[in-house]
Copies of this chain bind each other. A is one copy, B any other.
């Protein structure tokens, strides 16, 4: 009788150990976070019914029995607005859901039968899945922790490309006459900082992503607080550090440096301490096609932003993050979203391009033994793949409805397999289309490879 009892005990421990999984979803703004989380919840709630999840073994084998929403634990964090998102998709004509701002969460309980039946037979188990959604812009602030104020100023100055600089013209004009050694005038600093925040917002609007400080873009309750009223001082890069350190505390320089330090301590660090550190798994969403549409400078900028962002997952011994906190993400997915904007035979090229764009960070992650996988997906598929006759040949095409309601049938072109170089950009640009969501037909949302993503992110916990 001993062996079955031991196995039963093992089962019990297993059950306890795998009871909870904290899965975080991030991405820069407009990368498709809201659509992804909406679809993820939707697929799991329709599991065993209409959801098509063949690439998730537990679903294919009929072992994933269902999912239901339960009360989340942290009552002070907004709930992910799943119902509002579904309501938007159900409108006539359907609408893409409103993007979320800040962090939100949602808790699901999954019921499943283990693949190997234990001594107790086909008893079902539960997995509590906590889903988190937070702006990728917050991760862009991690590198800011490695700087002091003067070195951050130097770094920001080095970023300025021509198009990017154009968005900051009003700020440049305002900051030029600011004397770092003069006594600070709060109202004037607030005004210059507002120009800086306007520049950041305009640059984001235009498709730039490598924007610091990230919280300037979503100030929330901190709007108007001095902690969000600093900016890089152009003169600092050339100034003598020793001379700067002796400036009086009322000076512009010392005031801005104090706010920068406060931002590090009270805004950036609490996010890593209170939220990030507790995530078990993470998916980073990237709108690669949108960046290609936007042209070379912004594509380059996205590449830099993603490299910054990925530092948050690099737990190498010498990493800033490991020194400050003890993060524990044990599995990572990087996904190129909106794969339904290109024809299916382009999907492998999309993944190849994503891997090329993230080659350096992926190398670091693998070196630090963080399991990571790159894929392409459409969380809510909005187009249908077709074949059309073109000059006597059958060629692939997409059919859908444009954002303005016009019927589209087109071939959006190829995805470059490699990072486009200057010669490439000189030769051609990109114009991948955007689609309105398909009308809801009851059942689960149409998708591309959400099941593959689910398998990578939670599949092992359902075995």
**Bound-complex Cα distance A224 to B103 (A):** 11
**Do A76 and B262 have beta carbons less than 8 Å apart?**
yes
**Do A186 and B220 have beta carbons less than 8 Å apart?**
no
Given contacts A78-B223, A186-B79, A220-B220, contact A71 B250 (CB under 8 A): yes
**Do A71 and B255 have beta carbons less than 8 Å apart?**
yes
Expressed in whole angstroms, the minimum distance between the Cβ of A260 and any Cβ of chain B is 10
Q: Which residues of B contact A266 (CB under 8 A)?
A: 75-76
**Bound-complex Cα distance A293 to B184 (A):** 46
**Bound-complex Cα distance A298 to B460 (A):** 61
Q: 1/0 contact trace for A253-266 toward B, CB 8 Å?
A: 00100110010001
Q: Which residues of B contact A221 (CB under 8 A)?
A: 78, 102, 220-221
**Do B186 and A78 have beta carbons less than 8 Å apart?**
no
Given contacts A71-B255, A221-B102, contact A226 B187 (CB under 8 A): no
**Bound-complex Cα distance A300 to B262 (A):** 46
**Bound-complex Cα distance A220 to B221 (A):** 6
Asked if A42 is an interface residue, CB under 8 A from chain B, the answer is no
Given contacts A69-B187, A71-B255, A250-B71, contact A78 B220 (CB under 8 A): no
**Do B75 and A262 have beta carbons less than 8 Å apart?**
yes
Q: Which residues of B contact A262 (CB under 8 A)?
A: 75-76
**Do B78 and A225 have beta carbons less than 8 Å apart?**
yes
Asked if A190 is an interface residue, CB under 8 A from chain B, the answer is yes
Expressed in whole angstroms, the minimum distance between the Cβ of A350 and any Cβ of chain B is 33
Q: Which residues of B contact A226 (CB under 8 A)?
A: 71-72, 75, 79
Given contacts A71-B250, A71-B255, contact A77 B186 (CB under 8 A): no
**Which residue from chain B places its CB closest to the CB of A255 in the assembled complex?**
B71
**Bound-complex Cα distance A101 to B190 (A):** 18
**Which residue from chain B places its CB closest to the CB of A81 in the assembled complex?**
B224
Given contacts A83-B187, A220-B220, contact A225 B69 (CB under 8 A): no
Expressed in whole angstroms, the minimum distance between the Cβ of A249 and any Cβ of chain B is 9
Q: Which residues of B contact A170 (CB under 8 A)?
A: none
A76, A102, A104 interface centre (most CB from chain B within 10 Å): A76
Asked if A368 is an interface residue, CB under 8 A from chain B, the answer is no
Interface residues of A in 89-113 (CB under 8 A from B): 102, 104
Q: Which residues of B contact A225 (CB under 8 A)?
A: 75-79
Expressed in whole angstroms, the minimum distance between the Cβ of A273 and any Cβ of chain B is 16
A82, A83, A184 interface centre (most CB from chain B within 10 Å): A83
Expressed in whole angstroms, the minimum distance between the Cβ of A358 and any Cβ of chain B is 32
Asked if A419 is an interface residue, CB under 8 A from chain B, the answer is no
Expressed in whole angstroms, the minimum distance between the Cβ of A430 and any Cβ of chain B is 36
Q: List, sorted by A's number, 14 A–B pairs whose CB atoms are closer than 8 Å.
A: A70-B250, A71-B186, A71-B226, A71-B250, A71-B255, A75-B225, A75-B227, A75-B262, A76-B266, A79-B186, A81-B224, A82-B187, A102-B221, A221-B221
The 9 lowest CB-CB distance pairs between A and B, nearest first, are A78-B224, A220-B221, A75-B227, A75-B226, A75-B262, A78-B225, A221-B221, A83-B187, A76-B227
